[in-house]
Amino acid sequence: MVPEAALNFSLTTTRELKRLYKESLVTKRYLVRVCKEWSVWASPYLYECIYLGRGRCLRPIRDALMKSHQQDVSSDEGYSLGWWTRRLDIAMRDISTSEAERREEINSICDIIHCLPNLSIVTFSVTAPPFHHNFQSEPFPSSILRVLGDPNGPSLQAIIWQCGCFTPDPNDWLALLTKATNIVTLRCPDFPEGAQLPELRHLEVLYPRKEPLPTAVFPSLRHLIADVSPSNRWYPLLKIHGEKLQVIQLSFKYHSTIMPVLSMISTSCPSLARLDLSVTNWELVGCQVEGCELVLPPTVQILGLQNTAKQSSDQGYRSLFLGLALMTFTSSLDYVQLIDSGNVKDLCQKHSKALMRGLLMLEAKGLHLRDHECLSLTITEEVNDALTPAKLILECLLKTPDNVSPEDSPLVKWVRDAKKDLRKMLVPYAGGLTISERAQIAHWFELN
């Protein structure tokens, strides 16, 4: 139950973790059914995480927790079931349309929370039709937020809001954050105005409706996640807290927003060590218009990339690698990482030739590419052995003095008489060179 793990920038990782999480809950339910002794042993693990997904499940969970809580108060034997709970997922998807039944279900949720004194992580993902469609303007029930803050406020370390609908009233939200002073990880639909969160290290803002005010105090903030839109409402956040940020993860839909943001990060975040960019297609990274090349902040050590469209074409990957080859960066950059396992699987299994060409381009620029597990993606031995003569030829040509005509070199004459496949091998490797160097090679060998 690590609060930092509640936030995941990779969409594939988020879905996979959610699947494993639900499977673990099913396994725990099976354990307590084996026998009475196993039930006693497994109950602490069964109630470590509680997932509220359907209205019909609320009353049995509430009754079991309240009964155990009352027994714990009246006796000194062990702990109540709710004492073991560290995570609560409020993910209602079929809550009642009847006003009376809805009120009863909300009260049941409040009773459940009241029985969880050591609650550490809370996630909200209510997608029930009554709220998701008919009641979008209705705020999240105040009673649930109040009971979260009263007994559980000091123990809360992570609050995750999964969607932008059915959001809390600003006053109720601020009241909860005022009591949850030990929050480490926060994912919220808007800026937590006026909150004093001295322990907050990880902040994700979903859909800000207004610019942040400097009244919020986050002295420990190191990690920011945001969705970049033309509104630029989150820009002041960089000016206020940029000096402390070490990790920034941004989602882009338009290429026109990338360069202004990177420029602002360069001037506002002197301690930035990692920058992750999520795009809707690889063409946003590999824009081939002159002057649109990526310019990384000088302190970045790791550049992470993710394409929300898990599959791409050869042309898409060519744009990706060309964009990286033309990117401006400093010696502080250690490697480039594809942070989503879906992107890595598609590239390695369906576009292996594009991967080899791309790795050659990055090698010429001194860049290293790693996958989502931080393992290096390398050129295969077969390709590397076949390209060794081509690399040597290319290095010799680039070292040719300006006053010596390349056409007069015996090496050039030999290459022109060599097999076509050898000359074709120079094409992807030369792709990682500067524009003038590529033009020279293309002229010498008529490669394009």
Task: Calculate mean pLDDT across residues 52-81.
Answer: 78
pLDDT score of 382: 63
Q: Which of 6-10, 168-172, 406-410 has the lowest mean pLDDT?
A: 406-410
Does the pLDDT at position 11 exceed 80? no
- Helical (H) or strand (E) element with 267: helix 258-268
Q: Give the Å distances, CA to CA, from 31 to 20, 26, 100, 392.
A: 17, 9, 36, 63
pLDDT score of 46: 77
Task: Calculate mean pLDDT across residues 205-212.
Answer: 70
pTM exceeds 0.85 for this model: no
pLDDT score of 110: 92
Residue corresponding to tokens 């992807």: 428
Q: Which structure tokens are listed for 109?
A: 């949720």
pLDDT in tens, 319-354: 899 889 888 899 999 999 999 989 999 998 898 888
Could you count the other beta carbons within 10 Å of the beta carbon of residue 270? 13
Measured CA to CA, the distance from residue 26 to residue 47 in angstroms comes to: 12
Residue corresponding to tokens 């639909």: 189
